[in-house]
Amino acid sequence: MILVAFGTRPEIIKLFPVINELKAKALPFKTLFSGQQLDLYEDVKELVPSPDFSFADSFSGNGKHNSLGMSFIKICQAAERLFSDHHFDMTIVQGDTTTAWALAQMAFYNNIKVAHIEAGLRTFDVESPYPEELNRTLITQVACLNFAPTKQAYDNLVNSGAQSIYLVGNTIVDAVNYFKARLHLTAGQSNKVLVTIHRRENHAYMAKLFDELQEVASKNPELELIFPMHPNPNVTKHQSRLTADNIRVISPIGYPDMLRLINQARFIISDSGGIQEEATCFNKKVLIVRAKTERPEVIEMGLGLLADKDIQKVIDWAKTPPKSIKKSPYGDGDAAQKIVRIVSEFVDKKKKTGKNNEAGL
């Protein structure tokens, strides 16, 4: 039995193609929702089946905004109980969240194999992004299957001594292609600018960043900034700084609507990792509101620029139309097929080896 674990909105978006492929291949699996992002789960829960296991009760009530340590402890405790009561051949985790690291560690402690999707991303700075850089580095140490989205991620894994590395692409392309076909998205552009800023390492600078957005709007009245605001209070408490008429703050939106906005946008201002990847699927420029990125491919292809905290200084770069690209550096949209095939072969081999060992062969 395979366990697919997720706890955040980005994990669900990047794992639903894998779950769909597991179903298509009729492979036995269960799903787990850790409850890490209860407030954003509603936006994407329809992409995946109702979870077979949930730790959501651990995060309800006053635990809505837990510290990193408390979230990690709650997930680990619940995972230990789960792994004591149920047998799994493998746990699949995605990315670099608290959920991914906690489940990977507890699976390892319970002699369950770990497969890591989107492995090998690195900034080589444990404080940027925080705590994701440490989480994904630690997962590498326990994973028996490492699925790299790009050649650079693959090389990072090789240099770190990781086991069983496969270059498969990123399931974000699978997800975008799935919705492009269903939403009939065609190339579009307007004067809309999609804005998403929420990362933990930016919380201390959020007032400065909101003032930068206000300045961008004031000096560029032809632009319409659309800001689906993350519900974290460290973000929302600064909303009053955005007073320009051409800044529109909206509630978090579902994934299809987010893709529609990306498709329509003239460019994007964001500190999100996933949006950097999605932008390459729509040939959109991104001002990356960070000092470092673990997705250098976006910068190398001319669609990304590190703005750090000085958004207005580089706004002219973003307003210049990008060159056309042939395809995303994150693959052709068949990452889930490759991942499921490799996982299936690994689990089958493990079962056969186990039977042979039991027979004394």
Residues 258 and 338 in one domain: no
* 125-137 tens-digit pLDDT: 999 899 999 999 9
Residue with tokens 């042939």: 326
Q: How far apart are CA 305 and CA 270, in angstroms?
A: 11
The first and second tokens of residue 352, run together, are: 């056969």
The conformation of residue 320, written as its DSSP 8-state character, comes to S
Question: Would residue 325 count as lying in a domain?
Answer: no
For residues 82 and 116, state if they share a domain: yes
Given a cut of 70, whether residue 234 has pLDDT beyond it is yes
Same domain, 71 and 88: yes
Same domain, 195 and 165: no
Asked if residue 163 and residue 63 are part of one domain, the reply reads yes
Residue 87, domain CATH: 3.40.50.2000
In tens, the pLDDT along 65-115 reads 578 899 999 999 999 999 999 999 999 999 999 999 999 999 999 999 999
Range name among 46-60, 84-98, 125-139, 144-158 with the lowest pLDDT average: 46-60
Question: Is the confidence at residue 356, as pLDDT, over 70?
Answer: no
The letter for the amino acid at 10 is: P
- Whether the predicted pLDDT of 60 surpasses 90: no
Same domain, 47 and 190: no
Residue 308 predicted with pLDDT over 60: yes
Give the DSSP H/E element, type plus range, for residue 233: helix 233-236
Give the range of the structural domain holding residue 297, as residue numbers without chain letter: 178-319
Q: In terms of domains, do 74 and 203 share one? A: no
Q: Residue 263: is its pLDDT beyond 50?
A: yes
Going by C-alpha positions, the residue among 18, 29, 164, 203 that lies closest to residue 95 is 18
Residues 29 and 93 in one domain: yes
Q: Are strands 90-94 and 53-54 parallel, antiparallel or unpaired?
A: unpaired
Overall domain count for the chain: 2
| Whether residues 309 and 348 fall in one domain | no
Do strands 267-270 and 2-6 pair parallel, antiparallel, or not at all (unpaired)? unpaired
pLDDT at 164 over 70: yes
Instruction: With respect to residue 324, please indicate whether it lies within any of the assigned structural domains.
Output: no
Active-site residue, selected from the candidate residues 86, 87, 184, 198:
198
Active site residue 86: no
CA distance 178 to 234: 33
What single-letter amino acid sits at 264? Q
Please enumerate in sequence order all residues whose Cβ is within 8 A of that of 212, keeping only pairs 6 or more positions apart, or say none: 309, 310, 311, 312
- Phi, psi angle pair for 304, to nearest 5°: -130, 150
